[in-house]
Amino acid sequence: MNTFSELFGSCVFDESTMKERLPKETFKQLQRTIQNGRSLDSNIANVVANAMKDWAIEKGATHYTHWFQPMTGITAEKHDSFISPTADGKVIAEFSGKELIQGEPDASSFTSGGLRATFEARGYTAWDPTSYAFLKNGVLCIPTAFCSYGGHALDKKTPLLRSMEAINRQAMRILKLFGNDDVTSVKTTVGPEQEYFLIDKKYYEQRKDLIYTGRTLFGAKAPKGQELEDHYFGTIKSRVQAYMNELNEELWKLGILAKTEHNEVAPAQHELAPIFTTTNISTDHNQLTMELMQRIAKKHGLVCLLHEKPFAGVNGSGKHNNWSISTNTGVNLLEPGETPYENAQFLLFLCAVIKAVDEYQDLLRISASSAGNDHRLGANEAPPAVVSIFLGTQLTEILEALESDASYDAKEKELMRIGVHVLPKFPKDATDRNRTSPFAFTGNKFEFRMLGSSASISGPNIVLNTAVAEELKQFADILESAKDFELSLHDIIQDTIKKHKRIIFNGNGYDDAWICEAEKRGLLNLKTTPDALTYYLNKKNIDLFTSHKVLSEDEMCSRYEILMDNYIKVINIEALTMVDMVRKDILPAASRYTKELTDTALAKKALGDDINASYELESAKQVSHLTSSIFEHVKALEKALMNAKEVTDLEKLAFYYKDYIFTAMISLRAVTDELEGITAEDVWPYPSYGELLFGIL
C-alpha cells in the first residue's frame, strides 16, 4: 500500500467497507444504531454477518472471535473457525447473525469479585456495533460486552457503554433547553497519551523481576539518569524509530489514529499519542495499542514495559486521558469560544465538570489506583494524589467575576513575540499549561493526568461520564421547572462556583504547601490504593452508579473486591520474587564474591608483608556485613508473608500488605542495592540499570 488512505483502516470493517458491501437499507439501519445509539434490529444481523465474513475471508481470515475486556485489565478472545460441515463430507464457510450478536465463553475462570461461583460457568458476549470489527493475526475480532448468566457486567466495556448513555440522556436535556433541536446525540471523546519504556530483550530475559512483575525490584542507580534532561524530545535512536514506524503502520491498519511520538523524560522512555475519538472506541483502541506495542517490540529484539514504575530513580510512565463532550453535529461542548464569559452553555457544562470532580474526587482517585501507580502519584514526576482542577488564568478570572456578579474585561489575544524579526508572530494561548495538575483544562478538553500507563482507560471514563451526568441531571431538573430560565441559569452557575471553587488550583502541585492547603480546603489526600478504595462503597458513590444504572450495588461490591484483591496479589508476587532472587541468586553471588576477595587477600599476603591487601579485606568485610543484613531482611520479609495468611478480612489484608510487606520490601531493596553498588559487575547476577536504560544503541 502506497498511501495513507489505502493503509488506514484497511483491516477494519468500517463505515466505507460497510457502505460498499451492505445493501443500502441495511447500511442505513446500522448507521442509525451507531450514530444515535438506537437498538440494533436483529433482522439485519444475518446480512451484516455474511458481509463481514466474506470481507474477512478475502483478507485471509479463517476464524472469528468475540473480543472483550474482562476485569483482569487485559483483553480476552476465544477463536472459532468459519467452517461448517456439509452432507457430502466437505465444509463451507458460515457465519450467522446469531454468532455475530452473541457468544458464550466460559465465565467461571474470569475474576468476578464474588458475582459468580466457580461452578456457574455460563457467560455471554454481546456485539458492540458502535465499535468496528477488525482483523488481528488473521482473526476477525468483534468488539463485545461480557456479562454473566444473571445479567451482571463481568467486563469493563458494559458499564462504560452504560455511562455513555447516562451522560447522553442528561446532556440532551440541557441542550434542548438551549434550543439545540438539531442535536440527536451527545458522546464523550477521549485521546489517551501512552507512555512506555523500551529495553533490549537480552537484558529483560536475565531479570526475573521484570519477567514476573514488570518492574525492577532491585537496582542500584546508574552514574547517569535523567538529570541532564537530554532525552526528552531528543533524537530518536534508529532502532527505536524502526520500531515506531512498524507500530504506526500496524495501528493505522486498525484505524487507530496514532499521531504523535517522541522520547519522554527518562532514558529509554517514549510516548505515543492518538487523535480523539468516541470513548468506547478509544478504549478499544488503547487496549489494542498496548498489545501491539508489546508484540511488535519483540520483533525488533526489544521489550516494551508498560509498568508505571519499572525503574527507581527515574520517571515512571502514565497515561493522560484527554476527555471532552461533543454533539453529533460536531460541536465540542467544552469549547469556550472567543467570548467564554458570554457563552452560557459552555459555562454550564464547565460548572457540571467542576462540581462532579469536587463531589466525586474519591472516585476519580480510585479510578487511577493500582499497586503500580502508587509508586508515581505524588512523586514529583506525576500529579499528586490530591485531586484538583487547573483552569488557567482566563477561566478562573471569569468564574471569579461570575461569583461576585462583577464585570469581566475580556483581553485581546496577545501576539507571541520571540524577539527575532524573521520568526513569525502568532496568537498567544489564553493560559499556560500545568503539568502538575491531576485534572487540567487544556483549551477545549480536560486532561486527567493521574492514570497509570498499564491501566485500561475505561474506569476513569466511567467515573467522569457518570459523575458529570449526575450534575447535568441536577441542573436540568432545576432549569426545566424554572419560571425564569435566565435567572435560574445564573443562580446555578454562581452557586456552583461558590460551593466548589475549593477544587480549583492553578499553582504548583508538587509544592508541599499545596498539600497542606488542600487538606485545609477539605480535599482528600489518598496516598495509596487501599486508602482510596475504602471510599468506593460510600453511599453517595453507590447512589451515583445505581441511579444512572451504570453499576448495580452487587457489581460495585464485586469491583471493590477485585481491586483490593489485585493490590494484594501484585504485592505478594513482588515479595515472593524478591525472596526468590535474593535466596537463589544474590546471596550466593555475594558469598562467591566474598570468597574471591578473601582468597585474593590471602594470596597477596603470601607474597610478603610489604604487599597491601587492604582493598580486598575492607571490601570483603563490607560485602560480608551487607550479606548478613540482606539475609536478616529477607527472613523478615518471609515472616511477614507467613503472618499475612492469618489475616482473613480483605481490607485489613490490603493494609497489612501496604504497611508491613511493602515496607519490608523497601528495606530489603535498600541494603541489596547498596551491595550491588560495591560488587564487581561480572559477579552481580543481573543486568545493571546502566545496561537496561542505555542498552539500546
Q: What's the DSSP call for residue 309?
A: -
Sequential DSSP letters for 530-594: HHHHTTTT-HHHHHHHHHTTSS-HHHHHHHHHHHHHHHHHHHHHHHHHHHHHIIIIIHHHHHHHH
Confidence of residue 412 (pLDDT cuts 50, 70, 90): low
* Sign of the torsion formed by the C-alpha atoms of 421, 422, 425 and 429: negative
Instruction: Give the pLDDT of residue 429.
Output: 55
* pLDDT greater than 50 at residue 426: no
Question: In the chain, what are the domains?
Answer: 4-155 (3.10.20.70), 163-408+434-551 (3.30.590.10), 567-694 (1.20.120.1560)
Q: Produce one character per residue of 675-684: b if its CB has 16 or more CB atoms within 10 Å, e if not.
A: bbeebeeeeb
Its sign, for the CA torsion 560, 563, 569, 575, is: negative
Q: State the pLDDT confidence band at 263, using cuts at 50, 70 and 90.
A: very high
Task: List the single range of 37-46, 207-216, 347-356 with lowest mean pLDDT.
Answer: 37-46
List b or e across 452-461, with b for residues whose CB sees 16 or more CB atoms inside 10 angstroms: bbbbbbbbbb
- What tens digit of pLDDT does each residue of 190-230 get? 999 999 999 999 999 999 999 999 999 999 999 998 888 88
Q: Whose CA is closest to 268, among 214, 315, 308, 319?
A: 315
Residue 490: pLDDT band with limits 50, 70, 90: very high
pTM over 0.85: yes
289 closest CA partner among 259, 256, 260: 256
Query: How many Å apart are CA 234 and CA 604, to the nearest integer?
Result: 49
The reported pLDDT for the residue numbered 474 is 98
* CA-based R_g, the chain, Å: 28
Query: Which tens digit of pLDDT belongs to each residue from 62-102?
Result: 999 999 998 888 898 889 999 888 777 777 788 888 888 88
Q: What is the mean pLDDT of the chain?
A: 91
Q: Residue 31 above 90 pLDDT?
A: no
Find, among 190, 172, 188, the residue nearest to 180 by Cα: 172
Q: Report the relative pairing of strands 134-136 and 83-85 from DSSP bridges.
A: unpaired
Does the pLDDT value for residue 433 go beyond 90?
A: no
Helix (H) or strand (E) holding 200: strand 186-200
Residue-wise burial string across 234-270, b where 16 or more C-beta atoms lie within 10 A, e elsewhere: eeeeeebeebbeebbebbbbbbbbbeebebbbbbbbb
Confidence grade of residue 304 (pLDDT, cut at 50, 70, 90): very high
CA dist 611 and 604 (Å) reads: 6
The pLDDT of residue 83: 87
409 or 78, greater pLDDT: 78
Residues above pLDDT 90, as percent of the chain: 73
283 and 131 Cβ atoms separated by less than 8 Å: no
pLDDT tens, position by position, 149-173: 777 888 999 999 999 999 999 999 9
Half-sphere exposure of 603 (CA within 13 A, CB side): 7
